[in-house]
Amino acid sequence: MNNSAAQPPGPALRFSRQPRSASYLAPDPSGKLYPVTVRVELRRDPLTRRSGRLAHFQGFRLQAPDLAPSVRQSREGCPFCPERIELVTPHLPASIAGSGRIQVGEAVLFPNLSPYDRHSVVVVLTRDHFLRPEEFRAHHLADGLTALIEYFSRLEPVARGTYSVVTWNYMPPAGATQVHAHLQGFSTDRPGALLEEELRCSRAFHRRTGSSFWNLLVAEEEHLGERFLARAAHSAWLTPFVSRSVVSDIMVVFPECRRLTDLGPPAISEFARGICTSLAFLSAEGVAAFNLAFYSEPAGERQSHFRLHARLSPRIYFNPSIQGSDTTAWHHLLDEPFMVRSPEALARQLQPQLGATLAGA
């Protein structure tokens, strides 16, 4: 995976690390104190320069939460199950869908009853009320994305600066309000502070260097080999240097695409296969919830500097017995991600499985 003889292409990116250590006295079983030193690492994102830290929790290990009660309680009255979806979900305007909905395979798209913006929809992915992460199949996600792209393409021509945003909150630990798997889609000029910041920094990087940050990131991560997972026909996979998840994210970059609507069927299928392999890996570790988001260029962007990318971010309970959330004051109030598992460790563990899935794709 690492080619030490190769030279990194183009201007080098800055993967800034600052090691630190904390010391304290810990009691042994007899009560005698002995010195302990714990290492931590401060990092900065190579694009935005936002800070994050790697802090190894003593004795931390992933534990699968018991979500069976949520699944049981949510089944009765679920609006997304086949026997109710036609009766209780709203309809799209006839100008967008004559039948009131867009359906691709099992995926069904309709307006969000609690919209986040002017154009806000939900895509139910499966007829089954509940699937464990390893039970999702590529066609579930591929059909859902295809329905969303079709929806965005049917909207009236959008103004410059309009984004197509897709997100997935899977299970309550990740903020889902329904157990039944569903994506959310928005067409908006306010896509969220992080995406707006990425776009500004990407544009500034291009003006400064003449290169696309995203294509350079893929090339340099592949050269370094520490966080690189796989390169396929339409996508490149890696673990971000600063992840939002405490157990590290998985990032997918589409080197030839700038917007979500640029994705064709082969790229969608490739992405869906890779995500399903990643979900099965995470599930085997004990991860039962996750967030996913696409980061897409807005309409009318003049410079060809940005590249479509997505993040899959595992969500956990630090202590499942008390439902101890992984969103702490660090994330919620200081906007400082911290990781208890390094992106490099996740890459080493996931790379063989993901590489095998995407080989020759």
Domain that holds residue 321: 68-358
CATH of the domain at 191: 3.30.428.10
| In-domain check, residue 34 | no
Would residue 43 count as lying in a domain?
no
By the 10 Å C-beta count (0-12 exposed, 13-18 middle, 19+ buried), 354 is classed as buried
pTM above 0.75, yes or no: yes
Within 10 angstroms of residue 178's Cβ, the number of other Cβ atoms is 16
pLDDT in tens, the chain (361 residues): 444 344 444 567 999 999 999 999 999 999 999 999 999 999 999 999 999 999 877 667 888 888 999 999 999 999 999 999 999 999 999 999 999 999 999 999 999 999 999 999 999 999 999 999 999 999 999 999 999 999 999 998 888 999 999 999 999 999 999 999 999 999 999 999 999 999 999 999 999 999 999 999 999 999 999 999 999 999 999 999 999 999 999 999 999 999 999 999 999 999 999 999 999 999 999 999 999 999 999 999 988 999 999 999 999 998 888 888 899 899 999 999 999 999 999 999 999 999 999 986 5
Radius of gyration of the chain (CA): 21
Assess if residue 249 is contained within a domain.
yes
Residue 5 domain-assigned? no
Total domains in the chain come to 1
**Does residue 33 lie in a domain region?**
no
Is residue 4 situated within a structural domain? no
Long-range CB pairs of 89-95, under 8 A, 24+ apart, other chains included: 89/113, 89/122, 92/121, 92/151
Asked whether residue 18 is domain-assigned, the answer is no
In this structure, is residue 55 part of a structural domain? no
Under 8 Å between Cβ of 317 and 65 = yes
